[in-house]
Structure formats: structure tokens, C-alpha cells
Amino acid sequence: MDILIAFSAAGLYLLALAFIVPGLSHHNGIQSRPVLISATAAIVLHVVFLKDLILGGVGQNLSILNVASLISLIISVITTMAMLRMRLWFLLPVIYSFAAINLAAAAMLPGAFITHLESHPQVLLHISLALFAYSTLMIATLYAIQLAWLDYKLKHKKLAFNPNLPPLMLVERQLFKIILVGYVLLTVTLITGFIYLQDMFAQGKTHKAVLSILAWCVYGVMLWGHYRQGWRGKKVIWFSLIGAFLLTLAYFGSRFVKEIIIGH
């Protein structure tokens, strides 16, 4: 039953793509209503699937694939809600594709990493903040990639008019707003980690703290450079990508090796 729900949700994400992708290569506007209906239905089924997968047994099953699917759900919810106000059409195919892939992987490659957060609400708060910080900064990373693509097309005069394409300056402004939100969330995440996690720098976990702090420094320097020194363009894009890479290593590095490669 869980597999059926997962693949139904994945199918609805792909249906949303079928309404988006044709419009990206034409000058016609994309109809947001069918995209919104398909994506919303996919998100509802995604929630149902993850509820059973993560909360269906004793404790909470936070295996790497379950967490990855949860992050893709958060990103899908945020971007779908923003769809009607912001032109995200070039980002949504990537976001919905990852959501569908993560759903299929979580359904077909079940793993177990059982925690008991019900007895540690402060740890639940920390993990929730970490998930939202990571999701927000991953959306910012997609924005940075879109910004690089738009900049390249404009400089090489290969950008044809498309009503679904956002202006370059608008993308840049939105990028910094999203990074600022993600940076605040990451800051609070680190603060709660220092306060509530006594083993934050314990053996086997030190790399998570160190890499997260390094990512925090990278984003901090980038925001300082933009607002105080006027940094834009390639420098900002590279800082965004480096910060995202460090955070991904921090959140998933050792867990990926243990759960996927070694199989423990």
C-alpha cells in the first residue's frame, strides 16, 4: 500500500511536469491551475506516505532516504506555495523530479535509523530547524544555478523572449532574500545545537558541526560581500554552491557512507 501511495505521488509530480515543460520551450504562458492541482495532490500523498514511513513504527525512522524525501517534500511545498507569486517555472521541473525520485527510492530501498524524539522535544526543534534551513538554502542553490544560466544566455545573446522566464535582476533579488532566510534558520539551528546537543562534537559527529559552521561562514561572508561590497554575479554563485556542498556533506556525508555504501 505504501509503495502504491509513493508511486501515485511520484506520478502526480510527473503530471505537473507535463503541464510545465512544454511551456518552457514556447512563448505561450504556462497554465498554473493544472500544475497547482497536480502538485498539491502529489504533496498530499507525499505527506501520507512519509507519515507512515517515518512515524509508522516505534519511534521515528529517520533513514537517509526518508530524510531526503522529507527535504524534497519541504522544498516542494515552499515552491508550490510561491508558484503563484514568483515565476519558478524553470526550477519546478528539477524540484518535482527530485521529489519523484526520492519517493521511489524511499519506497523501494527501505532503511532504518530509529530515533525517539518524542522524549526529547528540544532535539526535535533542532532537527526541524535544520531541515528547514537546509531546504531553504537548497532552493537558494537552484536560484543561483538559474541566475548563472540567465547570465550566460544574456552575455552570449542566446536568450529569446519567454513570458515564463523571470528577469535577471528579480532572480538576483529573490536569491539574496532566500539566502538571508536560510542563513537565519541555519544560525538558529547551530545555536540550538550548541545548547541542546551535548554530543555535538562527539567522535563521529564532529564533522557535522565543523562542516555546518564552515557553511555558515561561507554564507555569512557572501551576504557581507553583497550588502557591504556589492558582490554580484559569478562570485555570489560560487559562494552559494560551496555553501550548499558543505551543508550537504554535513547533513548526509557519513550517513550516506554508513547506510547506502556499507549498508549499516
Q: Tens digit of pLDDT for each residue in 146-197?
A: 888 888 777 766 666 666 777 778 888 899 999 999 999 999 999 998 888 7
Residue 75 pLDDT grade (very low, low, confident, very high; cuts 50, 70, 90): very high
- DSSP letter assigned to residue 262: I
Q: Which residue has the higher pLDDT, 26 or 12?
A: 12
Integer CA distances (angstroms), 179 to 26, 72, 126, 244, in order:
31, 18, 19, 11
How far apart (Å, rounded) are the C-alpha atoms in residues 126 and 112?
21
* Whole-prediction pTM: 0.89
pLDDT value for 204: 61
Residue 58 pLDDT grade (very low, low, confident, very high; cuts 50, 70, 90): confident
Residue 156 in 3-state DSSP?
coil
Q: Which residue has the higher pLDDT, 48 or 113?
A: 48
Lowest-pLDDT choice from 20-24, 90-94, 98-102, 125-129: 20-24
What would the pLDDT profile of 203-256 be if each residue is shown by its tens digit?
567 888 889 999 999 999 999 999 998 888 889 999 999 999 999 998 887 666
How far apart (Å, rounded) are the C-alpha atoms in residues 136 and 238?
17
pLDDT value for 199: 66
- DSSP letter assigned to residue 29: P
How far apart (Å, rounded) are the C-alpha atoms in residues 238 and 226?
13
